[in-house]
Protein backbone atom coordinates (compact mmCIF):
# COMPACT_ATOMS: atom_id res chain seq x y z
CA UNK A 1 0.00 0.00 0.00
CA UNK A 2 2.84 2.39 0.77
CA UNK A 3 4.25 1.79 -2.73
CA UNK A 4 0.92 2.93 -4.20
CA UNK A 5 0.82 6.02 -1.97
CA UNK A 6 4.45 6.87 -2.69
CA UNK A 7 3.86 6.62 -6.46
CA UNK A 8 0.66 8.67 -6.50
CA UNK A 9 0.53 12.29 -7.56
CA UNK A 10 -2.97 13.03 -6.23
CA UNK A 11 -4.88 12.11 -3.10
CA UNK A 12 -8.64 12.35 -3.17
CA UNK A 13 -9.99 13.48 0.18
CA UNK A 14 -13.63 12.87 1.04
CA UNK A 15 -15.41 14.72 3.82
CA UNK A 16 -18.98 14.98 5.07
CA UNK A 17 -20.70 18.36 4.73
CA UNK A 18 -23.85 17.90 6.79
CA UNK A 19 -25.55 15.00 5.03
CA UNK A 20 -23.66 15.39 1.73
CA UNK A 21 -20.29 14.03 0.66
CA UNK A 22 -17.62 16.44 -0.52
CA UNK A 23 -14.63 15.06 -2.46
CA UNK A 24 -11.58 16.96 -3.70
CA UNK A 25 -8.26 16.01 -5.35
CA UNK A 26 -5.22 17.40 -3.53
CA UNK A 27 -1.43 17.50 -3.69
CA UNK A 28 -0.09 15.68 -0.64
CA UNK A 29 2.84 14.33 1.31
CA UNK A 30 2.94 11.04 3.22
CA UNK A 31 5.11 9.95 6.12
CA UNK A 32 4.82 7.68 9.15
CA UNK A 33 1.12 6.92 8.85
CA UNK A 34 0.01 10.50 8.18
CA UNK A 35 -0.99 12.41 5.06
CA UNK A 36 -0.27 16.14 4.80
CA UNK A 37 -2.04 18.75 2.65
CA UNK A 38 -1.54 22.49 2.26
CA UNK A 39 -4.45 24.85 1.94
CA UNK A 40 -5.58 28.42 2.06
CA UNK A 41 -6.64 29.31 5.60
CA UNK A 42 -10.30 29.67 4.63
CA UNK A 43 -12.63 27.75 2.38
CA UNK A 44 -15.23 25.04 2.21
CA UNK A 45 -12.95 22.10 3.11
CA UNK A 46 -11.65 23.94 6.19
CA UNK A 47 -15.20 24.72 7.34
CA UNK A 48 -16.21 21.08 6.81
CA UNK A 49 -13.17 19.68 8.66
CA UNK A 50 -13.74 21.98 11.63
CA UNK A 51 -17.25 20.52 11.97
CA UNK A 52 -16.33 16.90 11.25
CA UNK A 53 -12.69 15.72 11.17
CA UNK A 54 -13.55 12.20 9.95
CA UNK A 55 -12.31 11.68 6.40
CA UNK A 56 -11.90 9.04 3.74
CA UNK A 57 -9.01 9.15 1.27
CA UNK A 58 -8.09 7.38 -1.95
CA UNK A 59 -4.98 6.90 -4.08
CA UNK A 60 -4.74 5.11 -7.41
CA UNK A 61 -1.97 4.38 -9.90
CA UNK A 62 -1.34 2.33 -13.04
CA UNK A 63 -4.82 2.92 -14.43
CA UNK A 64 -5.40 1.37 -17.82
CA UNK A 65 -8.54 0.48 -19.73
CA UNK A 66 -8.44 -3.05 -21.15
CA UNK A 67 -10.51 -3.49 -24.30
CA UNK A 68 -12.36 -6.66 -25.21
CA UNK A 69 -14.34 -7.91 -28.17
CA UNK A 70 -17.64 -7.70 -26.30
CA UNK A 71 -18.74 -4.57 -24.41
CA UNK A 72 -19.23 -6.42 -21.12
CA UNK A 73 -15.70 -7.77 -21.35
CA UNK A 74 -14.05 -4.37 -21.05
CA UNK A 75 -12.26 -3.81 -17.79
CA UNK A 76 -9.80 -1.62 -15.93
CA UNK A 77 -6.37 -2.35 -14.56
CA UNK A 78 -5.35 -0.37 -11.48
CA UNK A 79 -3.78 -0.42 -8.06
CA UNK A 80 -5.46 1.57 -5.30
CA UNK A 81 -5.60 2.37 -1.61
CA UNK A 82 -8.65 3.57 0.29
CA UNK A 83 -8.59 4.51 3.94
CA UNK A 84 -10.07 6.42 6.82
CA UNK A 85 -8.60 8.87 9.30
CA UNK A 86 -9.02 12.00 11.34
CA UNK A 87 -7.97 15.41 10.09
CA UNK A 88 -6.52 18.16 12.21
CA UNK A 89 -5.04 21.56 11.54
CA UNK A 90 -1.29 21.89 12.16
CA UNK A 91 -0.71 25.15 14.07
CA UNK A 92 2.99 25.28 15.01
CA UNK A 93 5.40 26.97 12.59
CA UNK A 94 8.08 24.25 12.79
CA UNK A 95 5.47 21.51 12.27
CA UNK A 96 4.06 23.42 9.31
CA UNK A 97 7.55 23.76 7.83
CA UNK A 98 8.16 20.00 8.22
CA UNK A 99 4.79 19.22 6.60
CA UNK A 100 5.58 21.48 3.63
CA UNK A 101 8.92 19.71 3.21
CA UNK A 102 7.14 16.33 3.23
CA UNK A 103 4.67 17.55 0.60
CA UNK A 104 7.46 18.93 -1.61
CA UNK A 105 9.46 15.67 -1.32
CA UNK A 106 6.55 13.90 -3.00
CA UNK A 107 6.98 16.04 -6.11
CA UNK A 108 10.59 17.20 -6.18
CA UNK A 109 13.92 15.83 -4.97
CA UNK A 110 16.17 17.88 -2.72
CA UNK A 111 15.77 20.23 0.19
CA UNK A 112 13.34 23.13 -0.04
CA UNK A 113 13.22 26.29 2.02
CA UNK A 114 10.23 28.30 3.15
CA UNK A 115 10.43 31.72 4.71
CA UNK A 116 8.28 32.64 7.70
CA UNK A 117 5.92 34.80 5.63
CA UNK A 118 5.13 31.84 3.35
CA UNK A 119 4.53 29.53 6.30
CA UNK A 120 2.26 32.05 8.04
CA UNK A 121 -0.06 32.32 5.01
CA UNK A 122 -0.63 28.58 4.50
CA UNK A 123 -2.72 26.17 6.49
CA UNK A 124 -1.61 22.56 6.90
CA UNK A 125 -4.04 19.67 7.28
CA UNK A 126 -2.72 16.45 8.77
CA UNK A 127 -4.71 13.24 8.43
CA UNK A 128 -3.69 10.52 10.85
CA UNK A 129 -4.55 7.22 9.18
CA UNK A 130 -6.75 4.92 11.24
CA UNK A 131 -7.20 2.15 8.68
CA UNK A 132 -6.60 1.51 4.99
CA UNK A 133 -6.92 -1.27 2.47
CA UNK A 134 -5.33 -1.89 -0.89
CA UNK A 135 -6.75 -3.39 -4.05
CA UNK A 136 -5.41 -4.29 -7.46
CA UNK A 137 -7.04 -5.48 -10.62
CA UNK A 138 -5.26 -6.85 -13.65
CA UNK A 139 -1.85 -7.04 -11.95
CA UNK A 140 -0.14 -10.15 -10.58
> Is residue 13 included in any domain, yes or no?
yes
Range of the domain at 93: 2-132
The reported pLDDT for the residue numbered 140 is: 72
pLDDT per position as a tens digit, 50-99: 999 999 999 999 888 988 898 888 988 889 999 999 999 998 878 999 99
In a domain, 137, yes or no: no
Looking at the predicted structure, is the pLDDT value of residue 45 above 90?
yes
- Domain count for the chain: 1
Evaluate whether residue 35 is within a structural domain.
yes
Residue 116 lies in a domain: yes
Query: The domain spanning residue 103 has which CATH number?
Result: 2.30.110.10
pLDDT at 8 over 90: yes
Domain-embedded: residue 140: no
pTM of the predicted model as reported, rounded to 2 decimal places: 0.90
Assigned domain for 42 exists: yes
The answer to whether residue 61 is domain-embedded is yes
User: Would you state the pLDDT for residue 40?
Assistant: 92
Handedness of CA 87, 91, 95, 99 (dihedral sign): positive
Asked whether the predicted pLDDT for residue 114 surpasses 90, the reply is no
In a domain, 138, yes or no: no
Amino acid sequence: MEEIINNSTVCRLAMTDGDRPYLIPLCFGYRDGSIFFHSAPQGRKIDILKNNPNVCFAFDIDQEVTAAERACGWSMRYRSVVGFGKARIVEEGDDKRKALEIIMENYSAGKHSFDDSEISTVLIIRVDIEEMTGKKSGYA
